[in-house]
Amino acid sequence: MRFTTQGDKLYCFCLGRPEGDVKIRSLDRGAATGQRKIESVRVLGCEEKLTWTLEDDALRIQRPEHRPSELTLGLEIG
């Protein structure tokens, strides 16, 4: 995974095709992300609604059905 930010958005790029749910351990429930809460997660280039949960050990994102790219999965976390 690779991360970058722009404004108040965090972008996560998963290299390769995830076989199951995407788990971002650095964004678990106790992560030091300041006072900001995660309010949305979406796939870049796609309007599919994602199911996600903030768990004790990771931010878990249900693997999307549609992917705009076979090489990477781009996520916008707001």
CATH code of the domain occupying 2-77: 2.60.40.1180
The string of pLDDT tens digits covering residues 44-67 is: 988 889 999 999 899 999 988 877
Q: Are 15 and 22 in contact (CB under 8 A)?
A: no
Closest CA to 15 of 75, 71, 77, 76: 71
Give the model's pLDDT for residue 8.
87
Give the model's pLDDT for residue 35.
56
The string of pLDDT tens digits covering residues 19-39 is: 889 999 988 877 765 556 889
pTM given for the model: 0.83
The span from the CA of 51 to the CA of 63, in Å, is 8
Burial of 5 (0-12, 13-18, 19+ CB in 10 A): exposed
Segments making up each domain of the chain, as ranges: 2-77
State the DSSP code for 49.
B
Give the model's pLDDT for residue 32.
60
Give the model's pLDDT for residue 30.
74
